[in-house]
Amino acid sequence: MYIPDQTDLILLKQLQKNARITIKELANITNLSNTPVHERIKKLEKNGYITKHVALLDRTLLGKKLIVFCNIKLKEHTMDIGHQFVKDITSLKQVTECYNISGDYDFLLKVMVNDMEGYQDFVLNHLGKVKNIGSTQSTFVMGEIKNCTEVPI
């Protein structure tokens, strides 16, 4: 398994902040030439440290003004039911994150919709079709204090 060195970590930090930073800019920051920087980035991609390059969008400008965290408790816990739940949940475009959690609930969903009516539609017409949900609890976000996509390095 490949273990990144300090230079790799610098590259990862810079790429997290700005995926469009040029090889030349990265070379200047790391005091390397362009070719080794390019090779290091390719190695980080090949070894799974960089999984994809994305553009982060402003959800509110796109009308997604309501974020809801939805706790889900399943009725039953078998491998087949769990796999089916994951398959069904990952197909719902309103669900932007899904975590398998411990405690009183089995899953935590992050849901993005336009407004309360959009969430009601999501619950009734989409989440309601997912089999084996025993109970749900919704928590509505009133204000976003910190939203960070960077992994702490």
Is it true that 7-46 and 66-140 share their CATH fold? no
Instruction: Name the band, by pLDDT with cuts 50, 70 and 90, for residue 88.
Output: very high
For the chain, where are the alpha helices, taking DSSP H only?
A: 6-17, 23-30, 34-46, 79-90, 116-125
pLDDT at 27: 98
As given in the structure block, the two tokens for residue 112 are 């993005």
For the segment 27-49, the average pLDDT, to the nearest whole number, is: 98
Number of neighbouring beta carbons within 10 Å of residue 141? 14
pLDDT one-digit tens code per residue, 93-110: 999 999 999 999 999 999
For the segment 47-52, the average pLDDT, to the nearest whole number, is: 97
For the segment 29-35, the average pLDDT, to the nearest whole number, is: 98
For the segment 59-63, the average pLDDT, to the nearest whole number, is: 97
Domain ranges of the chain: 7-46, 66-140
Q: What is the CATH number of domain 7-46?
A: 1.10.10.10
Q: What is the CATH number of domain 66-140?
A: 3.30.70.920
pTM of this structure: 0.90
Least Cα distance to 113 among 45, 51, 62 occurs for 62
